[in-house]
Every structure is written in C-alpha cells, then in structure tokens.
Amino acid sequence: MNEPIKLKAKDYKSSVKPIWCPGCGHFSVLNALTKAFAGLGIDKDDTVLVSGIGCSSRLPAYVDSYGFHGVHGRGLAIAQGLKVARPDLTVIAMGGDGDGFSIGGNHFLHACRRNVNMTYIAMDNEVYGMTKGQASPTTPADWDHSKLTPHGPGVRPFKPAALALASGAPWIARGYSGNPNQMARLIAAAIEHPGFSFVHVLSQCITFCPEQTDWKAVVHEREEEALVDADEAAQLFLHEDGFQTGVLYNAQRATWPPSVPEPQSTDITRGFSV
Amino acid sequence: MSTQPLADFLAHSVELESEARERYLELAESMAAHHNDAVSEFFLRMAEESRLHLEEVGGIAKDHDLPELKAWEFQWPDEESPETTSYEAVHYRMSLREAMLLALDNERAAEKFYASFARSSSDENTRKLAAQFAAEEASHAAQLVKKLGALPADSGQHLEEDDDPHMPE
C-alpha cells in the first residue's frame, strides 16, 4: 500500500492570491494556519474554514480546503451549525475584531458558552481596515488616527480573553503575527483541543495603525503552564498587558451537544402510548 | 540539535531557503497588487535567487535522511528563519532602496546563521558545508551592496496612490 503524500504548508494554499496590504499581519495567520495543517497532517477534504466580513475574513479563499465566506459577524453561527451537523469535520471559524466582538459579539459570547468542538481565530488589529480605518471594539480609547474619532473613541476597549473566559470558553490562547511559527503551534493545539478553542491573534494593520509595528518590542511569551483555574485566569486577563502570548487557559468542560443515544423504535412507540 | 548534526543542519538550511523564497514571492505578489512594481520585481528576483540556493541545498540534502520537523520545531535565532523578511518591516509604499536594504539584512542574517554552524558544529562535514553556505550568503550581500551603491538616492517621497488611507492631515 502506498504511503499517503505528506503535504507541506504551501500545499494547503489555494491558487487565489491575497490582496491584503504588504506587511499585513493576516499573511502571518495564513502561514501559521497552513503550517499547523501540515504539522497535524490535516485532510483538506475534511476541513472547513468559515468567516464573516472584513480583511481577515478573506482568509478561507486563500486556503485549499472547504470554505464559507459568511455574512458580517455570523461566521461563528455558521461554523457551530456545521460542526453540530457534521462532527466528523475539522471546523475553524475566523474573522477580525470588528466582525467578532462587535457585529458578531453576541455569537462570540454564546459560542464560548456553548462549547462546540471547534476553533475560533480572531485576528485583532484594533481597527476596521476594510472600510479604511475606523475604531473597533478593541481600539485604544485614545487612538486618534481616524477622522471619525479625531480625539479617540474615548471608550475602554474590550479585553477579548477576559470576555471569552467570562462567557465560558474552556481554552484560550494568544498569538502574534510577528511569530508565525509559535502561532502555528498554538493553532495546532487549538485544533486538537476537544472543545471550543479561542485563539486571539495580535495581527498588525501597518496601513491604518503603523504604530503596531512596535508590538514586536512588547510581545512576550508566557513561560508558565496554561492556567486551569478560572479565578486565576480572570485575575490574569483583567490585569495583564494584553501582549502575553501562548496557551493562557486550558480547562476541560463537556462539549455541546452532549452525546445522546439514538432513540430506539420501542422508545418512539412508548412516546405515543396513552 | 540532535545526534545527527549534518542532517539537522541540512533540514534547517532547506527550510531557511524555502521560507525565504516563499516570503519573497508572497511580498512580490502583494506589492504587485498594490502597484508598487519596482519593489515587486525586486522581490521576484530575490525569490529566484532563493530558488537557486534552495535547489543547491536540496541537491545536497537528497542524499541524507532529514528529520521531519514541524514548523515550530525548527530552532532559529529569532522568531522566524533568518532569511525571511519580517512582515512588520514592509509597507506597500516602500522604495526600492528600502526593499534592497531589507534584503541585505536578510542575507547578512543568513550568513551569520550559517557561520555560527561553521564555528560551532561538532561535525566536520557540517562545519565545511556551513562555511560554504555562509560564503555564498556573504557574496549575495556583497552583490546587494554594489547594487545599492549604483542606485540613485531616494527622493524621500514614497509611492503615491489615488486611494489614500483615511488618516488625519
């Protein structure tokens, strides 16, 4: 019998070329994802990438697997439905900070709470890039680079990891687009986690937030094991600088839907008895 | 490194050249999409240089049983392989000179990487090969320095486009 051909990361890329700005962090996520697929030997035919709308949500088109470019903020809803209907598939939802935490914010909360066995990658560049640079839910309060918020949005930004933890997400990691090899390891671990895994990626937008090139100097890798205690994780996420990378929280929790035995014909008959 | 220094070294060399080529190609395509044709063409030429070096390294590596490493199992001095252009270092409005300076940094980083093996490997064959690769990278760097010298000075004005980012004046 012939050995299956081992695919390299580039074999997972489609023939569609990205139109992201040169230097965009999303290139790094694309490379990390395909490296993770190669590392795990993922079967393209059993993998589906689902996204919403925005620069980052273009990513499924650039990967040679099944993909669904959904409507704004609804990538998670589509992905959960798909995974529940086809638990045999590897399902990965993805999108940006606006798509995931604003337009799709409610879906994010409930996806964390529901704990369907799938992965969500949020590419956070703290800005709406596709519409040319407006403040998003993760934009710093004093970011005054947009004509729409010339004095900054003046609102505290979301802390995505804290939000995920409070909503019940059992597995939380953070990656950085300046380190695609570490991110590949995180994405591989997220895919292997039996439950909802949330990968928050600091993915720079060098066009609208050129100051994000400074992230390289402040990002630091977590040296300790991932936290398993939710109280400790809450303390971490509320007080950290937001630039810590690695698997930050890893708890086990029953996934949804619970496995229920198939009803037997006698059970159905009994249901109609009077 | 494992107990097979030469195989490990070659696995890293193949990955280094392969990643350099892939990144240059990716950057060339994205620069073309953003109408920075001069930089796009330069990155394409660098991708071709990397392909030639990859062929050379691959030709040597095919006679060895290389370890199958996952992307995160390679051991690089920094986050990525040394000849790979960092994403945050490029911009769609960058000039040809800036692109060439980046490429020069890459060549020098690769030379430094190979030179460290040439100095410190426990295996003589690895040291010899690493010294050869380091010399090749140094030669690429010297060629780039020469080309940079022949390039007219930057005007100081970066590429303009009709559809500017929506930023404050």
Q: Pick out chain B residues at pLDDT < 50.
A: 1-3, 169
The domains found in chain A, sorted by start residue, are 9-271 (3.40.50.970)
In a domain, B20, yes or no: yes
Residue with tokens 């062929």: B55
Instruction: Give dist(CA A148, CA B105) in Å, integer.
Output: 39
- Provide, as residue numbers in chain A, all residues whose Cβ is less than 8 Å from the Cβ of B33: 17-19
For chain B, how many structural domains are there in total?
A: 1
The neighbour count for residue B15, using CB atoms within 10 Å, is: 19
SS3 category, B130: helix
* pLDDT for the residue A266: 75
Residue with tokens 């040394």: B82
Q: What is the pLDDT of residues A231-246, one digit of tens each?
A: 999 999 999 999 999 9
DSSP per residue over chain A, as a string? Answer: -PPPPPPPGGGGB-SPPP-SPTT-HHHHHHHHHHHHHHHHT--GGGEEEEE-SSSGGGGGGGBSSEEEE-STT-HHHHHHHHHHH-TTSEEEEEEEHHIIIIITHHHHHHHHHHT-S-EEEEEE-SEETTTTSEE-TTS-TT---BTTBTT---SPPP-HHHHHHHTT-SEEEEEETT-HHHHHHHHHHHHHSSS-EEEEEE---TTT-GGGGGHHHH-EE--SPPB--HHHHHHHHHHS-S-EEEEEEE-----SSPP-PPPPHHHHHHHT--
Q: What is the pLDDT of residues A221-233, one digit of tens each?
A: 999 999 999 999 9
Taking a contact as any Cβ pair under 8 Å apart, which residues of chain B between 74 and 133 contact chain A? 74, 76, 79-80, 86-92, 94
- Provide, as residue numbers in chain A, all residues whose Cβ is less than 8 Å from the Cβ of B74: 181
Instruction: Give dist(CA B26, CA A180) in Å, integer.
Output: 15
In a domain, B89, yes or no: yes
- Is A21 an interface residue toward B (CB < 8 Å)? yes
In a domain, B161, yes or no: no
In a domain, B158, yes or no: no
- Is A173 an interface residue toward B (CB < 8 Å)? no
Instruction: Give dist(CA A135, CA A147) in Å, integer.
Output: 10
- State the DSSP H helix or E strand holding residue B41, giving kind and residue range, or none if neither: helix B37-61
Instruction: Give dist(CA A137, CA A98) in Å, integer.
Output: 6
Q: What is the pLDDT of residues A154-193, one digit of tens each?
A: 999 999 999 999 999 999 999 999 999 999 999 999 999 9
- Is A202 an interface residue toward B (CB < 8 Å)? no
Q: Give the angle B129-B133-B139 at the CA atoms, nearest 5°.
A: 145
* Closest CB from A35, A146, A216 relative to B71: A35
How many contacts does A have with B, using Cβ atoms within 8 A? 110
Chain B residue with minimum CA distance to A147: B168
- Cα-Cα end-to-end distance for chain A: 58
ipTM: 0.92
Instruction: Give dist(CA A171, CA A249) in Å, integer.
Output: 5
- Owning domain of residue B103: 5-150
In a domain, B110, yes or no: yes
Across residues A43-50, what is the average pLDDT? Answer: 98
The neighbour count for residue A134, using CB atoms within 10 Å, is: 19
- Provide, as residue numbers in chain B, all residues whose Cβ is less than 8 Å from the Cβ of A150: 168
Q: What is the pLDDT of residues A124-152, one digit of tens each?
A: 999 999 998 999 999 999 999 888 899 99
Chain A residue with minimum CA distance to B70: A39
The CATH number given to whatever domain includes residue B32 is 1.20.1260.10
- Provide, as residue numbers in chain B, all residues whose Cβ is less than 8 Å from the Cβ of A180: 71, 79-80
**Are B74 and A181 in contact (CB < 8 Å)?**
yes
Write down the mean pLDDT value for chain A.
95
* Closest CB from B29, B36, B89 relative to A17: B29
* Closest CB from B31, B70, B167 relative to A39: B70
* pLDDT for the residue B96: 95
In a domain, B165, yes or no: no
* Closest CB from A18, A23, A32 relative to B91: A23
In a domain, B78, yes or no: yes
In a domain, B157, yes or no: no
